Structure formats: structure tokens, C-alpha cells
Amino acid sequence: MARFLEHSPSIKEFYVSEKLDGIRAIWTGTSLVTRQGNTISAPDWFIAALPKDIMLEGELWAGRGQFQQVTRTVLDKYPNSNQWLNIKFMLFDMPNVQGPFSHRLSLLKEHAKTLNQPFIEVATQRELGSITELERWHKNVIALGGEGLMLHNKNNFYTAGKSPALMKFKHHNDNEAIVIGYEPGNGKYKGMMGAIWVITSDNIKFKIGTGFSDDDRQNPPPLGSFIQYRHNGFTNSGIPRFARYVRLRPSPDS
């Protein structure tokens, strides 16, 4: 099971949020700084609203398509209080709190509620049930002028900078692979195929367990057959992320 989660993680392992086009900021408990540690000159009333001795991480944001406005406002050495009225601190993590992201998110919501400030919010984190839901939300966000989506593993401990447990959801890729094995289904799929093992032309082996209809599970693609699958990028090990079955292919060139 651990191997399966590493190679083909389920969307249910992640919280999903919109990727905000603002400026990353960290409240150290005493000062507001950029990710590189440079001081952000915010108005006194903005700083006074933040909690003492509690670290918060988030995005200084003014809405979709307003990145230039955020940059002009936030990076100004002499803060314009009126312009800062358009800025929100969208929180998404607590760097100095131990434990998985699910725990940090719960604490973050409690702190935001206690602060009770209209310009301090916790970025909405959704729990989705399928890749289809993820793709539908991604499509809507892009249509509305957004940047995309971010997926954060619920069990991830805080890591500064890039992490395989925090990733941007991008448009999907389509590829082909050869079926080399099966795994039996469980629950409602008991007695049917639960997943297929495949190998790519690059000799990468992994498992695909989603995208199948009930008929596909009762009559799985034959061993040695070519299938088309869809995925969203790769893990650090080169395994396709969120791989799901699309269709059977008569040959790799069809």
C-alpha cells in the first residue's frame, strides 16, 4: 500500500487550493517578510492586527489578475495605507508548528477566527473525491482568470521551499503504456479488476487504479495490450502523478 501511495497517490490524500497570484509573505511573530527574508513595509494597522510570537505563512493578494497592483503596494518602501486596504493576507501554513498539514490547517483556522480581521483569511482548502472534480475546478479557475490549483499532502510536515508534497496542478499529459499485470478489486469492485500494472517505453512501472468504467473492470485490457493514460506531471522518481486510464489502444501508433 505504501508503494502504491508513493507511485500513484490518491487525490483524497491532498487538500486543494487555488494558486494565488500575489506575493508570498511570512509573519515571523514580530515582522512581515518576503520568502527571501526581506522586510515588507506594511502600515502600522496591518502589522498591529497580526498575532505576537506566532508564525504565519501566506500570500498578500488583491484578487485575480491584480499581481501588478500587489507588487506596487507591497514592495513600496513607504506604505500607502489606502492602497493596502485592497490587500488581503491569505494564510495557508504555520511554519513553526509540528505535525501534519491537516493539523496545522486546523490551528490556522482557529487563529484566523480569533484575529477576526477582514483582511486576514485562510485560503480555502478543499477535499476532492476524484481527478474529474480536480480537473473541473481547475478549468473553472482558469476561465475566471486564475493561476491554477495547488495540492498539499494532508500528512506533510512543514518544509521551507519546494516539496514533492506541495505541487501545482497543471494541464494533463497523455501517454501510452503496456499492461503487464492486475490487482483485484475491493469493496464495490470485489470480484473485478481493481487496478492494472503497466510499463512505459522508458521502462517505468506503475499502477493505474482510476478512470475505469464498471465494464472495464469486468473486462480489463488484456495483458500485453497498449493503453492510453492521462496524468499530471511526475514524481521525483519519474512516476506519472494521478495516472488514470483513458482507453485501450490497438497499437502504440493508433
The span from the CA of 137 to the CA of 193, in Å, is 29
Alpha carbon dihedral 67, 117, 93, 60, in 10-degree steps, equals 10
Question: CB count, 10 Å around CB of 27?
Answer: 24
Burial class (CB in 10 A: 0-12, 13-18, 19+), 190: exposed
* Nearby residues of 89 by Cβ (< 8 Å), 6 or more positions away: 25, 27, 46, 50, 56, 58, 59, 60, 61, 119, 120, 121
The sign of the CA dihedral 106, 159, 117, 123 is negative
Which of the residues 12, 19, 188, 190 is marked catalytic? Answer: 19
Would you call 19 a catalytic residue per the annotation? yes
Residues catalogued as catalytic: 19
